[in-house]
Structures are given as structure tokens and as C-alpha cells.
């Protein structure tokens, strides 16, 4: 059991016998008494998104998940194909299951597949991925490594801000939790 105030985006909980992924949450406190936790939950099986309010201090059941190492193979229409690194079995995940992680998926990237009752329900990305810059503005004389930055589009379509010295074709490390540039690779 987990207190609703400790829920985080991406967590999977069991509510009324159904699996839900937490898409977002906000805490609202009233003048007196306890607050209200407003959540946006997505039913993993049906894809429906609901808004659910909880009283502060309420508890929900966190789904008992299993984690297995896997490798991202390729994108096929509406599906993303992963291979379990232990059994070499392939799993198809929908775009909803992959969610925002699709901006970081490159061929042969090692990830962790999340399973519930032997069915894949999502993925966990490594903290840092290396992506190539495919579009950014050119350098100008006098630009330095400190301060500011310029917009860039990476090989997966992810848009981020990079320092002025980064050029098209260079590989950069990106934090998958925030989408921010870390350093050149």
C-alpha cells in the first residue's frame, strides 16, 4: 500500500481491480482539515483516462510488477518491439504503453520491461541516453560554452536546448527524466 500523497507520474496502481498508470497529480489544501489529492489516471487495459480525487492520507495498492532486462528493436506502425534479454522472446508494446519514452528509443537501446501477470505494461528507460543532433542553428564567432543555449532537434524528434558549441551530427547525452542536455558524448 502507498499513501496517495507519495504517488508519482508513471507509477502503476491497482484501483477497483483495474490497473491504472498515474499521468499526473496535484495536491490541494483547504483552510482547515486535510487536503485533496487530484489525480489523472489511465486505465492500462482500456486506455480511458479518469480524474480521481483522494483525501490526503488515503492509501492505494501499488501493482506488484516484475522487471526484466530487454532491448528495443524497432518501431512497427503503432507498435514498439522489444526483446527480453534472458529468453529472447519478443514483446509488442503500444504507443500508450511506451508513452513519453518514445522520444528516447533508438535501435538496440537496453531498457527494463515492466510486467504485470506476465503481460508487459510499460518500460523503464536508462537515466541517460546518447542521441545525435539532426537540426540546430550554426555557431557564431564569440559564442562560448557558458550561459544560454540554442534549440536542437535530436534523431528521435526530441526537442531540447543545447550549448552554442554543439553542431549537427554530434552526439549528446540527454537525461531521460527531464529531457535536458547533459554533455557531449
- Contact indicator for 176, 127 with CB cutoff of 8 Å: yes
Residues of the chain above pLDDT 90, percent = 29
Q: Write a three-state SS string for 111-168.
A: EEEEEECCEEEEEECCCEEEEEEEEECCCCCCCCCCCCCEEEEECCCCEEEECCCCCC
Instruction: Please check whether residues 58 and 71 belong to one and the same domain.
Output: no
CA dihedral 167→173→23→65, nearest 10 degrees, is 150
Q: What is the CATH number of the domain that holds 97?
A: 2.40.50.140
Q: What is the pLDDT of residues 67-115, one digit of tens each?
A: 999 999 998 888 899 999 999 999 998 887 887 788 999 999 999 998 8
How many domains in the chain? 3
The answer on pLDDT for 33 being more than 80 is: no
Same domain for 114 and 87: yes
The answer to whether the beta carbons of residues 132 and 89 sit under 8 Å apart is no
Report pLDDT for 173: 92
Check residue 172 and give its pLDDT. 93
Residues 72 and 120 in one domain: yes
pTM to 2 decimals? 0.74
| Cβ atoms of 162 and 150 closer than 8 Å | yes
Answer with the one of 46, 62, 78 that is the final residue of a domain: 62
- Checking if the pLDDT of 146 tops 80, the result is no
CA pair distance 11, 13, nearest whole angstrom? 7
Do 104 and 74 belong to one domain? yes
Instruction: Indicate which CATH number applies to the domain containing 34.
Output: 2.30.30.30
Residues 79, 36, single domain; the answer is no
Same domain, residue pair 132 and 145: yes
Per-residue confidence (pLDDT) for residue 47, from 0 to 100: 79
72 and 99 inside one domain: yes
Domain span at residue 105 reads 66-124
Same domain, 172 and 147: yes
Residues 55 and 74 grouped into a single domain:
no
What is the model's pLDDT at position 142?
Answer: 56
Q: Cβ distance 122 to 114 under 8 Å? A: yes
* Same domain as 141, residue 118: no
143 band by pLDDT with thresholds 50, 70 and 90: low
Per residue in 150-180, pLDDT (tens digit) is 899 999 999 999 988 888 999 999 988 888 8
Domain boundary among 75, 94, 124: 124
Whether 8 and 56 map to the same domain: the answer is: yes
Amino acid at each position: 500500500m502507498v499513501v496517495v500523497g507519495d504517488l508519482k507520474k508513471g507509477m502503476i496502481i491497482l484501483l477497483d481491480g483495474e490497473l491504472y498508470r498515474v499521468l499526473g497529480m496535484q495536491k490541494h489544501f483547504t483552510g482547515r482539515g486535510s487536503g485533496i489529492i487530484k489525480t489523472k489516471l489511465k486505465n492500462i487495459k482500456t486506455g480511458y483516462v479518469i480524474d480521481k480525487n483522494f483525501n490526503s492520507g488515503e492509501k492505494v495498492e501499488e501493482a506488484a510488477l516484475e522487471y526484466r532486462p530487454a532491448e528495443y528493436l524497432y518501431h512497427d506502425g503503432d507498435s514498439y518491439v522489444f526483446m527480453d534479454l534472458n529468453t529472447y522472446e519478443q514483446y509488442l508494446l503500444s504507443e500508450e504503453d511506451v508513452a513519453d519514452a518514445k522520444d528516447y528509443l533508438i535501435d538496440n537501446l537496453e531498457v527494463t520491461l515492466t510486467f504485470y501477470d506476465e503481460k508487459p505494461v510499460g518500460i523503464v528507460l536508462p537515466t541517460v541516453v546518447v542521441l545525435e543532433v539532426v537540426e540546430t542553428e550554426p555557431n557564431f564567432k564569440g559564442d562560448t560554452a557558458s550561459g544560454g543555449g540554442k534549440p536542437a532537434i535530436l534523431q528521435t524528434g526530441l526537442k531540447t536546448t543545447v550549448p552554442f558549441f554543439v553542431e549537427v551530427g554530434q552526439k549528446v547525452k540527454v537525461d531521460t527524466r527531464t529531457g535536458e542536455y547533459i554533455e557531449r558524448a
